[in-house]
Amino acid sequence: MTGDRPDREVVEMLDRLLQERYGGDGSGLLLGQVGRDPVDVLVATVLSQATSDRASLAAFTRLKERFPRWEMVLEAGPVELEKVIAPAGLGRQKATRVVDILKAIQARAGRISLGFLKGAPAGEAARFLEGLPGVGPKTAACVLLFALGQAAFPVDTHVYRVARRVGLIPEKVDRARAQKILQESVDPERYLRLHVNLIAHGREVCRARRPRCSQCPVRSVCDAAGTPANPPVP
C-alpha cells in the first residue's frame, strides 16, 4: 500500500484470484435478482440493511406482489408497508424510510421514477441519491452500479472487513473513506466483479469470526495471513 491506496498490482492479483474462485457475475446477490430498475434497487438496498439477503429478498418480493406500483405504497402508508416487509426486520424504521424516499422522488420527478438519472454524470446522480432520506454513500453506490451502469464501488460489511484484512484500505479508515479509496484505486471495469467477489469471500472464507485462513485463495496477497492471531473484525 502506498499511503492510503493499495498497489495496483496487488489489486489486479486479488481480482484475478477471487475471480478464479467465485466467478463474479453477481447473480447470487440480492441486487442481482431484483432487476435493473433504479427504484427497485434502491428500495431493495434499504430493505437489505442489517439483515440477510434471503430475508430482504423475501420482503422485497412480498412488497412487489402487494404493491405492483410504487404509488400504491404511498396510498397504503408506512403502517401497512411495515406489515408487508416484516421478513426484513426493523419494519417500522424501513417502512418509514421507504415512504419518505418515494415521496422525495415523486416531488423531484413528478412521478416515482429515477429514469431521469440514466445518462446523468455519476457525481450528479450520486449527489441526488445521497440527498434522499436515509440514503448514504453505500446505498447510492449500489443504485449507480447495479441499476444505472455507473462506475461506483459500494462498501458493505463484507467488503469493508475483507478490504481491511487484505490491506486494500487502512485498518482504521471509515466506510465513506474506504469507498472513496477503492473507487480511486480500482479500475472501473473491475468494480462490479471485485465488489461481488469480496462479498462472496467475506461470507464463505474471510468471516468476521473464525476466518478460514487455511482455505483462503488470496493468502499470497493478504496482510493478515500468517499472523499469530487474526481477530474478529466487525
> By the 8 A CB rule, do 6 and 167 touch?
yes
Could you tell me how many helices (H) and strands (E) the chain has, helices first?
11, 0
Of 94, 118, 138, 172, which residue is the catalytic one? Answer: 138
Sequence-ordered list of residues with C-beta below 8 angstroms from that of 59, at least 6 positions apart, any chain: 47, 84, 85, 86, 87, 88
**Would you give the end-to-end CA distance of the chain in angstroms?**
22
At 20, list the grid cell.
478464479
What sign results for the dihedral spanned by CA atoms 202, 203, 206, 208? positive
Active site residue 172: no
| DSSP string of 111-138, one letter each residue | SS--GGGTTS-HHHHHHHHHTSTT--HH
Active-site amino acid positions: 138
